[in-house]
Chain A
Amino acid sequence: MTIWILFALMTGAAVLAVLVPLSRRKAAETADAAESERLFYEDQIAEIERDHGRGLITAEEMRAAKAEAARRLIRATSQASAPQETVDEPALRRRRAASAVALSSVPLLALAVYGAYGSPHLPAQPLSARLEQTIDPRNLDIAEAVARIETHLAQDPDDGRGWDVLGPVYMRQGRFEDAARAWANALRLLGPDPARLANLGEALVNAEGGVVKARAREAFEQALGLDENHPKARFYLAQAAEQEGDVAGARAAYEEIVRRSPPNAPWLDVVGERLVAVGGAPIQPRAPFATAPGSEAGAALAALPEEDRLAAIGGMVEGLAARLKEDGGSAEEWVRLLRSYAVLGDRDRAQVALAEAREALAGDPAAVATLDAAAAEMGLGGAAPRQ
């Protein structure tokens, strides 16, 4: 409501600015045309005299110039007619019409335009005021949360927990320099911790576009000093060796990670990729059995030499394929088969299996969806052709 009162006051002031001069009996300042022209030419004549005084023009030139200016003055003043200030009937009618225009057009135009584009219900929302509002965690979005924590830290920069919370958020947003700053602050305030050190290192590496530089290496080495098994620190140090061209060292480091990791560790996929890249033996065959940790078959497989192991795995996959083909199976089982082919690098058979799976599961849309999602993840052919 107050906003409309304010608008009414503003409109009133604007209309008054027009109505006041209209309501005066006499125009306040009636500069008269003839008078201002006379002043101009007098000034011009004075200037001509000054020029003569300075010796710029001769007396004869002065006379000629003055005569010319005077002629123009006479011409100008004879044409000019002073504005009338009469209050006769037509003049009054004009004033009333002008007042009506002002009274109507100003508020109407303003309201029409504002009505079309304005949002009178929205208050001003300066950021500082919004950050002071009480928080309802249910509808707190991530940007707001970050803004709140940042504001809090700006006032109380020695709150290590705040930095600890911000670090992962910055990482996810791709603000790696900020993440590194946050981790560094957290370390300073909360003391060294292998995870924090490794995270600091990771942020620094990302900020450098993936290159492990001296500061990051230092952080990783410190992390290993506290926890010699820390996989992230080991992994990036291995990357550092790889980037420096130390292939053998990198391979040894990656193998070391595999050795030190539990068999179903989630990072093994990535480590395996790097290991192959530096010419090491693939460790992916462990992945199909990741779902059955510690199974006897898995342990026995792991103990086999490389070639035998591959052969054994191939045999197991064939068995699974044969069983699914004959008896059918759940979507999860088909996906496991696809994954096995994918890991073995046999894309053609994976495609064939995918087609078979689609056929077998055709009656179950949910199962097909699961299948498609997994296929897409593995980069196999898209959705099933719809008939």
Chain B
Amino acid sequence: MLIEAGHFALALALGLSVVQFLVPIWGARTNDATLMSVGPPAAIGVFALILFSFGVLSFAYATSDFSLANVVANSHSQKPFVYKLTGVWGNHEGSMLLWILILALFGALVAVARNAVPPKLRANTIAMQGLVTIAFLLFLLITSNPFERISPAPFEGQDLNPFLQDPGLAIHPPLLYIGYVGFSITFAFAMAALIEGKIDAVWARAVRPWTLTAWGFLTLGIAMGSYWAYYELGWGGWWFWDPVENASLMPWLAGTALIHSTVVMEKRDALKVWTILLAILTFSLSLLGTFLVRSGVLTSVHAFAVDPDRGLFILGILVFFIGGSLALFAWRAPMLKQGGIFAPVSREGALVLNNLFISTACATVFIGTLYPLALESLTGAKISVGAPFFNATFLPIAVPLLLLLPFGQVIAWKRGDVAGITSRLYVAAGLAILATVAVYAVTLGGPALAPLGIGLGVFLVLGAFNEVATRAWQSGSGGVALAAKRALGLPRSTWGTVLAHAGMGVTVVGVAATAWSVERIVSMNPGDVQTIAGYEARLEGVFPRTLHNYNEDVARFTLLDDGREVAQLETMKRIYPARGMSTTEAGLETFGFSQVYISFGEIQPDGSLGVRLYYKPWILLIWIGSVIMALGAALALTDRRYRVGAPVRAKGGPRGSGSSTRRPAATSAVPAE
């Protein structure tokens, strides 16, 4: 009965989201507050129903209820409990349910968040979110129903794809989905603004917390996916320019541009049309990613079961939302009132430049990802667009963008002057050049370009903190204590910017340092010792082991540094009998930010073991930098500006107005997040 109740809840959510779409939008058109007030409870109701449904599906997985086709196809009674749970979204149907759950979650959050969103904008936004929910609920129920039953039920399941039986599955998809789907709410805001025909700085501020949230989670999701690929695939690579990766990178780039353009819109009431377009494009790229990954156009571990009907359905959704939103944009955008004009050398000018670079970078990724697919479907020719293409096109755009980044941070709004900028940045630039020269000196004869990359990363980090330093020291008076106090007093959004940009710098250093990574492919017998970047790895032995639902061959290594034992590590080749598939688990040992990476190859006919040994200097910086970026977004979210409350008339009567009394008002309001 419980299972069917979960199924019915989904159907009910579909009915309720129709109300969530129709009634508030009608209320906004007729200016009827009562109709508009239906939006929030409907959005919360839809979320509650989908949450219940998701809970039921998780329960079915936890109890190995093989009367559900979805559980049979993706679970196994002997699977460790945690993978039974993560298996809920380790398949097409369950992950789409998670997708919709997050969609509804964002709708419900907008419904309960009382930050200063004008009522009409909120009503229209909730309605648009309802429309997206309708489309995806229909998709789920019609083409990929997770509650399809089997009778009589089999007694054992077919197990989950072994690559997905990893702690990464517990973290990567939820993070990535919150990011992907989070942009649906900025899309809904953009649509709402176009429907209402009113876009201003208030809109920009209302949207900003949502963009920041989605961007932060997407950053973490991509970083987690990259780290997962790094340790699971056994090749030591962390980014493959794989179409699936690109599908997540494109919304990230567009989202990054969106974050920057909303700043201009909020401060200067300009770039409105462009910002709306970016909001539409970002979510469209999210949808495109979902389509590419789920339609079977691309074959990868993410594709799950391929079914042409599903691809067609998602394509329909894609065409409806992208086409519909762009049509609405084309119709409404010319009516938007343009804001102020601005000088080329100014903060807003720099942000426009940033947007230009990022959208060009996004376009190159788009072309590199879709061109081979289009060519294949048109002419049948298969071409492979890989790292060389992206290195040749993406990097020349990314590098100048990153070089200009610290300059953008120090330019004043409205009008900046070149002399002032250089005077503020020369210390950071000088130190970065010094760092580059030092790296060259230490690694003489090594890679030629990598030290420049390190220098760029250092410049980004120093440039980021330069803003804090110049602002704190600026007045010239006072000692260190006063400067520190002033630095801490800077708005959290400034600190968020600093952290996010510094995080980018840290990632750049990590990426540049991969040029010094060392790789060795050898065959070893027990007792053999191989040296890798100053460490010696001794193969202790290879032995079989049976755990849970797999058997594995374990190669155990002892890592020695100057003959002194520093670590034991194991690399495994696992065989999952239920699917007859095998996976490799790399053995990793971390030294500071660097890692020794040992991967199980093949057992040779003569009984020796093929081993891939890598030394990856500073590799962890890539992901640490991403985490810092996401932290920056989180910090910016806590800025007091976003905690501005909507008027809550609980106590009755108008509250004190005027800027001097804003502080207590802000604390009494319900926080946005």
Q: Which A residues contact B (CB, under 8 angstroms)? A: 2-3, 6-7, 10-11, 13-14, 17-18, 20-22, 24, 26-33, 35-40, 42-47, 49-50, 54-57, 61, 68, 72, 76, 79-81, 83-85, 90-91, 94-95, 98, 101-102, 105-111, 113-114, 117-120, 122-130, 141, 143-144, 146-147, 174-175, 177, 181
Asked if A36 and B32 sit within 8 Å, CB to CB, the answer is no
Q: How far, in angstroms, from A146 to B77 measured CA to CA in the complex? A: 12
Asked if B4 and A118 sit within 8 Å, CB to CB, the answer is yes
Residues of A within 8 A of B155 (CB): 127, 130, 141, 143-144, 146-147
B19 at interface by CB-CB < 8 Å: yes
Residues of A within 8 A of B38 (CB): 18, 21-22, 98, 102
Asked if A20 and B4 sit within 8 Å, CB to CB, the answer is no
Residues of A within 8 A of B269 (CB): 72
The stretch from B59-67, B437-445, B621-629 touching chain A is: B59-67
Asked if A33 and B1 sit within 8 Å, CB to CB, the answer is no
Given that A29-B649, A72-B269 are known contacts, is A24 also in contact with B659, CB under 8 Å in the complex? no
Asked if B153 and A125 sit within 8 Å, CB to CB, the answer is yes
B45 at interface by CB-CB < 8 Å: yes
Q: How far, in angstroms, from A236 to B414 measured CA to CA in the complex? A: 87
B171 at interface by CB-CB < 8 Å: no
Could you name 10 residue pairs across A and B whose Cβ atoms are closer than 8 Å? A2-B1, A31-B118, A36-B119, A57-B412, A85-B33, A102-B38, A117-B145, A120-B4, A125-B67, A143-B155
The stretch from B6-14, B159-167, B379-387, B527-535 touching chain A is: B6-14
The stretch from B22-30, B351-359, B364-372, B500-508 touching chain A is: B22-30
Considering only CB atoms, which chain B residue lies closest to A61 in the complex? B414
Asked if B19 and A36 sit within 8 Å, CB to CB, the answer is no
Mark out the residues of chain B between 174 and 196 whose CB falls within 8 Å of any chain A CB in the assembled complex. none
Number of chain B residues close to chain A: CB under 8 A: 87
B237 at interface by CB-CB < 8 Å: no
Considering only CB atoms, which chain A residue lies closest to B78 in the complex? A150
Asked if A31 and B1 sit within 8 Å, CB to CB, the answer is no
Residues of B within 8 A of A22 (CB): 34-35, 38
Q: How far is the CB of B608 from chain A (nearest CB, A)?
A: 16
Q: How far, in angstroms, from A143 to B77 measured CA to CA in the complex? A: 12
B80 at interface by CB-CB < 8 Å: no
B198 at interface by CB-CB < 8 Å: yes
Asked if B205 and A18 sit within 8 Å, CB to CB, the answer is no
Which of B2, B34, B41, B65 is the one whose CB lies under 8 Å from A91?
B34
The stretch from B253-261, B514-522, B639-647 touching chain A is: B639-647
Which of B1, B37, B648, B659 is the one whose CB lies under 8 Å from A49?
B659
Mark out the residues of chain B between 630 and 659 whose CB falls within 8 Å of any chain A CB in the assembled complex. 641, 644-649, 657-659
Given that A36-B647, A40-B644, A125-B153 are known contacts, is A81 also in contact with B200, CB under 8 Å in the complex? no
Q: How far is the CB of B147 from chain A (nearest CB, A)?
A: 7
Residues of B within 8 A of A37 (CB): 116, 118, 202
Asked if A39 and B644 sit within 8 Å, CB to CB, the answer is yes
Q: How far is the CB of B33 from chain A (nearest CB, A)?
A: 4
Give the secondary structure class of A's interface. Answer: helix
Which of A31, A108, A127, A174 is the one whose CB lies under 8 Å from B647?
A31
Residues of A within 8 A of B117 (CB): 31, 36
Asked if A98 and B33 sit within 8 Å, CB to CB, the answer is no
Asked if A27 and B34 sit within 8 Å, CB to CB, the answer is yes
Considering only CB atoms, which chain B residue lies closest to A3 in the complex? B1
Q: How far, in angstroms, from A2 to B149 measured CA to CA in the complex? A: 19
Asked if B119 and A109 sit within 8 Å, CB to CB, the answer is no
Residues of B within 8 A of A3 (CB): 1, 4-5
Asked if A102 and B19 sit within 8 Å, CB to CB, the answer is yes
Asked if B2 and A175 sit within 8 Å, CB to CB, the answer is no
Asked if B60 and A175 sit within 8 Å, CB to CB, the answer is no
Most chain B CB within a 10 A radius of its CB, from A14, A37, A90: A14
Q: How far, in angstroms, from A72 to B200 measured CA to CA in the complex? A: 9
Asked if A109 and B8 sit within 8 Å, CB to CB, the answer is no
Given that A17-B42, A40-B116 are known contacts, is A83 also in contact with B31, CB under 8 Å in the complex? yes
Considering only CB atoms, which chain B residue lies closest to A142 in the complex? B155
Residues of B within 8 A of A27 (CB): 33-34, 36-37
Asked if B41 and A85 sit within 8 Å, CB to CB, the answer is no
B393 at interface by CB-CB < 8 Å: no
Which of B9, B31, B77, B641 is the one whose CB lies under 8 Å from A10?
B9
Q: How far, in angstroms, from A102 to B24 measured CA to CA in the complex? A: 12
B489 at interface by CB-CB < 8 Å: yes
Residues of B within 8 A of A147 (CB): 77, 155-156
Considering only CB atoms, which chain A residue lies closest to B117 in the complex? A36
Considering only CB atoms, which chain A residue lies closest to B151 in the complex? A122
Q: How far, in angstroms, from A83 to B491 measured CA to CA in the complex? A: 35
Residues of A within 8 A of B30 (CB): 90, 94
Q: How far, in angstroms, from A113 to B138 measured CA to CA in the complex? A: 9
Most chain A CB within a 10 A radius of its CB, from B32, B66, B120, B154: B32
Residues of B within 8 A of A54 (CB): 471, 486, 489-490
Considering only CB atoms, which chain B residue lies closest to A91 in the complex? B32
Asked if B63 and A126 sit within 8 Å, CB to CB, the answer is yes
Which of B5, B14, B60, B649 is the one whose CB lies under 8 Å from A113?
B14
Q: How far, in angstroms, from A280 to B44 measured CA to CA in the complex? A: 81
For the complex of A and B, the 9 pairs showing the least CB-CB separation, nearest first, are A126-B63, A109-B15, A106-B15, A127-B64, A83-B33, A114-B11, A46-B659, A113-B11, A17-B45
Considering only CB atoms, which chain A residue lies closest to B337 in the complex? A75
Mark out the residues of chain B between 57 and 86 whose CB falls within 8 Å of any chain A CB in the assembled complex. 60, 63-67, 77
Asked if A10 and B5 sit within 8 Å, CB to CB, the answer is yes
B604 at interface by CB-CB < 8 Å: no
B250 at interface by CB-CB < 8 Å: no
Residues of A within 8 A of B49 (CB): 10, 14
Q: How far, in angstroms, from A104 to B649 measured CA to CA in the complex? A: 34
Mark out the residues of chain B between 229 and 267 whose CB falls within 8 Å of any chain A CB in the assembled complex. none
Asked if B34 and A35 sit within 8 Å, CB to CB, the answer is no
Considering only CB atoms, which chain B residue lies closest to A38 in the complex? B657
Residues of A within 8 A of B63 (CB): 124, 126-129
Residues of A within 8 A of B646 (CB): 31, 35-36, 39
Considering only CB atoms, which chain B residue lies closest to A25 in the complex? B34
Considering only CB atoms, which chain A residue lies closest to B201 in the complex? A72
Q: How far is the CB of A65 from chain B (nearest CB, A)?
A: 8
